Amino acid sequence: MSQKIVIVGNGPAGLSAAGAARIKDRAVEITVIDTKDYDTYHPCAMPFVIGGYLPSVDTIIENLNYEMSKIKLHKSSFVERVDVRQKKAFVKSKSGEELVLDYDKLIICTGSSVFIPLIPGRDLGNVFSLKFAEDADAIKKAADAKAVKNIVVVGGSAIGIEVASELAHLGKKVTLIEMQPQLMPFKISKAFATIVEKNLEETDISIKTGMLVKEILGKTNVQSVVYGNDETKETIDAELVVLATGVRANVDLAKTIGLKINEKYNAIEVNEKMETSIADIFAAGDCIVTDNFVTQEKTLAQLAGPATRQGRVAGINAAGGDAIYPGSVNSFIVSSRTFYVGLVGINEEHAKELGIEVITQKLTAPIRPHYMPTSKDITLKLIARVDDGKILGLEVIGEEKVDVNVNYVTIAIQAGMTVYNLMDIDFCYAPAVSETIYPLVKAADAITRKLERKKERK
């Protein structure tokens, strides 16, 4: 008799888990339960719907051919509870229909939900959060209205920056408000956050850091926003507000099941095989806490890339395999209409907090020879450990090749490479595409010289 796998959630982790389980075992029965009314969507593309770069929300909604893979998908449904002893999942649809599913292995991929701060006026019309495809569609339709001229985006992390950039491209007057002293807090360093802020301001986005939104005012729809700090308070016009205030792991089901929850992050604890504290139950994606590959600290990745890889490991192992998830290096990129900013590993500030002695090199260099008309500068900062030159992280900003540099260093970190190893990499060269000496190699070379001088002084 074939094994039965039930997957709760059909986001990046659940989708990946289902596919990996099917590839591993062609006979296993796979059933996926998901709350959405459509098969799946591409959440990272939602800002491009809002800004009109993509023609409509239908562009990012996908119909999956699960039937061909013999995977059953129950849409518009949720798992009410799980009987761990009997290995039964109790499912209820939005229309009230009930279903009991037997399972041999259960994979929890319940994802995350938008965190909505308790701001007075948050329930007014034209105040939105952004999590699902229908949210992007609603924001786009509201922003297209002629009456909407002033927009406030609350939250200066990746999604806030991307949404603000797209709305500014529509010709709206956009104010981006972040409660921390810098944009992208706990991700990039203050120095790089300053560069990001400068680039956004050049596109006429007003940046307010170290400020809290105190109240959203209006009768039926939002009309203005009150923000400030302990000393100041200001009111600005706003006909539309987007709350990009972060996400929290969805762990209600996990708690009712009795899975071990990490207290600090309020997320499901798993091991390197994506196994939870209860036998035959796996978890992956935004709802879990995992290890930071560089520091071995517990971390919330909550990114599509790690979720997909975690889901793959969970799916393989649920189907009888033996896959390992090595931890998250948190490779990360944010796009705007005029630049990209990326990072991987840890930055210098984080290293100092952990007591790791690092050596760094920041430089600005052309991505192609200066005589090429398409040559543009890229700014990057490479971080390495002092004692052995091991590469720990990278921050980078530019108009092109940000993703390439992040990916190169991601490989370097996961392979345990040093700056000396990076110096030996045989990068390709042609004037139309790259510099003779790649900017990343220039940074590695500078660090190796610093390390050698340190050795000489001892």
Q: Which residues contact 458 (CB under 8 A, 6 or more apart)?
A: none
Q: Do both 209 and 352 map to the same domain?
A: no
Q: Do both 182 and 266 map to the same domain?
A: no
pTM: 0.96
pLDDT tens-place string over residues 114-140: 999 999 999 999 999 999 999 999 999
Instruction: Report yes or no: 29 and 106 within 8 Å, Cβ to Cβ.
Output: no
Q: Which residues contact 84 (CB under 8 A, 6 or more apart)?
A: 257, 258, 278, 281
The pLDDT of residue 455 is 82
Q: Do both 408 and 435 map to the same domain?
A: yes
| Average pLDDT score over residue span 19-40 | 98
CA of 18: how far to CAs of 1, 62, 130, in Å?
Answer: 19, 16, 26
- Domain containing 434 equals 343-457
Q: Establish if 372 belongs to a structural domain.
A: yes
CA of 23: how far to CAs of 28, 68, 312, 316, 443, in Å?
Answer: 10, 13, 10, 8, 42
Q: Establish if 326 belongs to a structural domain.
A: no
In this predicted structure, the answer to whether residue 1 has a pLDDT above a threshold of 80 is no
Which of 191, 220, 245 lies at the terminal end of a domain, its last residue? 245
In this predicted structure, the answer to whether residue 456 has a pLDDT above a threshold of 90 is no
Q: Do both 104 and 134 map to the same domain?
A: no
Q: Establish if 48 belongs to a structural domain.
A: no
Type of residue at 261: I
* Domain tally, the chain: 3
Q: Establish if 329 belongs to a structural domain.
A: no
- The question of whether 287 is a catalytic residue gets the answer no
Q: Do both 209 and 129 map to the same domain?
A: yes
Which of 245, 272, 305 lies at the terminal end of a domain, its last residue? 245
Q: Do both 143 and 217 map to the same domain?
A: yes
Residues found in the chain? 458
pLDDT tens-place string over residues 293-345: 999 999 999 999 999 999 999 999 999 999 999 999 999 999 999 999 999 99
| Average pLDDT score over residue span 155-180 | 98
| Average pLDDT score over residue span 9-23 | 98
Instruction: Report yes or no: 403 and 340 within 8 Å, Cβ to Cβ.
Output: yes
Angle (CA) 289 111 45, round 5°: 115
Q: Establish if 47 belongs to a structural domain.
A: no
Backbone dihedral angles phi then psi of residue 385, each to the nearest 5 degrees: -80, 140
CATH number at residue 224: 3.50.50.60
Q: Do both 25 and 141 map to the same domain?
A: no
Q: Do both 162 and 235 map to the same domain?
A: yes
Q: Establish if 68 belongs to a structural domain.
A: no
Q: Do both 148 and 108 map to the same domain?
A: no
Q: Average pLDDT over the chain, rounded to whole?
A: 97
DSSP 357: -
Which of 245, 276, 308 lies at the terminal end of a domain, its last residue? 245
DSSP 237: E
Q: Do both 96 and 156 map to the same domain?
A: no
Q: What percent of the chain has pLDDT over 70?
A: 100
Three-state secondary-structure class, residue 57: helix
Whole-number Å distance between alpha carbons of 292 and 330? 8
Q: Do both 437 and 394 map to the same domain?
A: yes
Q: Do both 260 and 147 map to the same domain?
A: no
Instruction: Report yes or no: 161 and 336 within 8 Å, Cβ to Cβ.
Output: yes
CATH number at residue 359: 3.30.390.30
